[in-house]
Structure 1
Amino acid sequence: MPGLYIGSTSGYSGKNMIVMGLGLRFQKEGLRLGYMKPVGAIPVELNGKLGDEDAFFMQQVLGVSGEPADVTPVVVTHDFKVQAFNGRVEDHVAPIVEGYENISANKDLTLIAGSGSMYSGKYCGVDGIHLVKTLGVKSIVIDRFQKELNYDYLVVLKESLGDNLAGVVLNDIPPSFMDEITTLIKPFLESKGVKVLGVIPKDPFMGTIKVTDLADRLGGKIISAHGKVAHPVESFLIGTMQVENFMTHFRRQRNSAVIVGGDRSDVQLVALEGECPCLVLTGNLYPNDIILTRSEVLGTPIIMVRDDTFSVAKKMEDILSRHKLRDSAKVKHGAELVASHLDFDYIKKELGLD
């Protein structure tokens, strides 16, 4: 039965969204679907069995079952890394092949989710390129726009994978770059034999994070407006400047969390009155009573953190670029994005499902 490996040029590129979108669409068309994630990077136990957090989540979303030992034969724990770097030689590919055979039995298609980039796991022989060739499956590689696209990487992958590369998906493309994609990048890639299966535009909603999740990731404490912690945060703004300058920037970024020192009540008040989704106060300093009262009245949560403003801003940048797909509304929206921007007819033809 055919298999399709979903890989990427780097971590946090949208593999779960693509797997989910493909899976839900194929299931809607009546295909019996299998799912596995050969290498798990987020170890977690469920019912006493070791597996991968993403894999357990995707099984739930797709409504598919499978023993963790088959779904994720290789789980990268600290002990696993120590053994690998100490030169302990084990065949990690054999259990992956066995798991794939068990999962794909009596299935019309098995989706195989990669971990990290296509070269991740090279140190122990379980990188995406090796697995695609060993399993004899087709692959789709996602390249997420992060300042630019990895054109060279995609061309090299085509040379490495040959016909095993069904095509690539260009993800999170900002509006300002769309014209260049259409007129320059896509024609260039396809002239090199790299089929562009879809171009997914940047979607603000997919990059949001709930206030409550943000507080948890920052190691902070929510101290007000606890009933409004489901507010979505799209981006962030640092409130270290003078109030007049801050107001100018803030008007352009209304859905941004405002990171500001706990002693800057002037900026805090402007942000609250401007209906920002939340305040992140740094330096472990409580706001004054006026700020707390306005926060409660306006329903704007305040997160208090120990770190300084610069450190929190760096964390925020990382969190917003790497926040995982977990919210049910995002699952639905992500599936719709994939369904509307990928060439499913071509994919089915490549897999022999047409």
Structure 2
Amino acid sequence: MHYLYIASTAGFSGKSLITLGLGLMLKEKGLSIGYIKPYGKIPLKQDGRIVDADAEFLRKALDISEPPEVVSPFVVTYELQSNLLKGKPSDKFDDINRAVSSLANKDLVLVNGAADLYEGATFGIDGLKLIRHFKAKTLIVEPWNGDSSIDAIVGAKELLGSDFLGAVINKVPQGVHDHVKNFVRPFLEKKGIAIFAALPLDRLLDAITVRQLNEILGGKVLCCEEGLDEFIESFSIGAMDVDSALKYFRRTPNKAVITGAHRSDIQLAALETSTRCIILTGGLYTNDVIIGKAKMTKTPIISVHEDTFATVQKIESVMGKISIREQKKVQKTKEIIVREFDLVRLLKELKLV
């Protein structure tokens, strides 16, 4: 049996999406795939037990036959953290070992790593320990962040040694894609680092639905609830003059516009362009003309109590960090992985062909 540990040096790198995309491709190749997420952080109560919400989503998306307690053997909770700090026994390694051992009949087990290689150390289940114990080959997923991404990949290779398989450079902006392809990737390959893909930044994969955003902001939906499941890919602050706003709005598709309730001119400009929702700050409502126009375009208008600055801070804290649990993202991920990922090379490196 082979283990592929999908890791990163920091959180929100895109590990789960890449794990999902690889799993779907490998199953289409006829391989028997196992999946496990040893360290969960998104508690979901299901059938009387706690599982990780993302792990459960991947279990279903990959049509994994194993029960949730195998796929998600440990989920950290406030109670567990509290008991840990009080000195109660906290080593969860045996639980993980039993779960992984139950997958011994698979061709390949995909292990969905934690935020970094050290997370989970206080519970005895950090990435480094699991990689070494199971002799897992490790694929590093590194979101592009300039030269620091190069350092992170090289550093991971030095840290992991023979357990290091290679890397995926993820979320590469269009403006630097040629640079990464023509200079960064060859540079790393010359250092003996296999780069299986340089995946482009895709706004849909980092997007958030209007409904999710409203829940985070604690807002009140004034109209057009039928538009709450549309995806927001960016946001704009409507604080400029209306002519400038209209020019900017036309260049920015699938956006949320944040503005004051008194700026009906900005609201109308937003409704004339590709806008997923309008967020009115300060707890105020807009007028009937705007509501009528919004209903025509099926664009939700949301009123929030916070001022513009606080609202923007909340939005910035979640954009790009939203879960994978959306069917549109599953399909998009598969399309990107099929197009960009060197699966043949991966299978050769894992000695599965």
| TM value normalised by structure 1 | 0.94
C-alpha distance 78-208 of structure 1, shift in aligned 2 (>3 A): same
State the Cα deviation string for residues 258-316 of structure 1 (Å, max 9, x = none): 01112222211211123422101111111111111111122211122122111211222
Matches within 5 A, 1:1-354: 1-102=1-102, 104-146=103-145, 149-354=148-353
Aligned partner letter, 1:105: A
Shift of 1:162: 1.3
More deviation, 49-58/312-321: 312-321
Aligned partner letter, 1:72: S
Aligned partner letter, 2:12: Y
How many residue pairs get aligned? The number is: 353
Shift of 1:148: 6.0
Contact 1:275-1:300 at 8 Å conserved across structures:
no
Contact 1:143-1:149 at 8 Å conserved across structures:
no
The alignment-based identity, stated in percent, is 37
C-alpha distance 231-148 of structure 1, shift in aligned 2 (>3 A): farther
Contact 1:9-1:150 at 8 Å conserved across structures:
no
C-alpha distance 342-149 of structure 1, shift in aligned 2 (>3 A): farther
- Distance across 1 between alignment mates of 2:327 and 2:277: 22
- Distance across 1 between alignment mates of 2:207 and 2:213: 10
- Distance across 2 between alignment mates of 1:147 and 1:83: 40
5+ residue gaps in structure 2?
none
C-alpha distance 75-232 of structure 1, shift in aligned 2 (>3 A): closer
> Which secondary structure does the structure 1 equivalent of 2:192 belong to?
coil
- Distance across 1 between alignment mates of 2:167 and 2:89: 33
Shift of 1:123: 3.5
Shift of 1:87: 4.3
Shift of 1:179: 2.0
More deviation, 245-254/329-338: 245-254
Shift of 1:97: 1.4
Q: CA RMSD in A?
A: 1.8
Contact 1:236-1:257 at 8 Å conserved across structures:
yes
Shift of 1:146: 4.3
More deviation, 169-178/139-148: 139-148
- Distance across 2 between alignment mates of 1:226 and 1:69: 36
More deviation, 86-95/307-316: 86-95
C-alpha distance 98-118 of structure 1, shift in aligned 2 (>3 A): same
Aligned partner letter, 2:67: E
> Which secondary structure does the structure 1 equivalent of 2:197 belong to?
strand
> Which secondary structure does the structure 2 equivalent of 1:74 belong to?
coil
- Distance across 2 between alignment mates of 1:145 and 1:219: 32
C-alpha distance 119-260 of structure 1, shift in aligned 2 (>3 A): same
Contact 1:168-1:196 at 8 Å conserved across structures:
yes
Contact 2:249-2:274 at 8 Å conserved across structures:
no
More deviation, 206-215/169-178: 206-215
Contact 1:50-1:68 at 8 Å conserved across structures:
no
Contact 1:237-1:256 at 8 Å conserved across structures:
yes
| TM value normalised by structure 2 | 0.94
More deviation, 35-44/310-319: 310-319
Aligned partner letter, 1:23: G
- Distance across 2 between alignment mates of 1:246 and 1:147: 31
Aligned partner letter, 1:216: E
5+ residue gaps in structure 1?
none
Shift of 1:185: 1.6
Shift of 1:150: 2.0
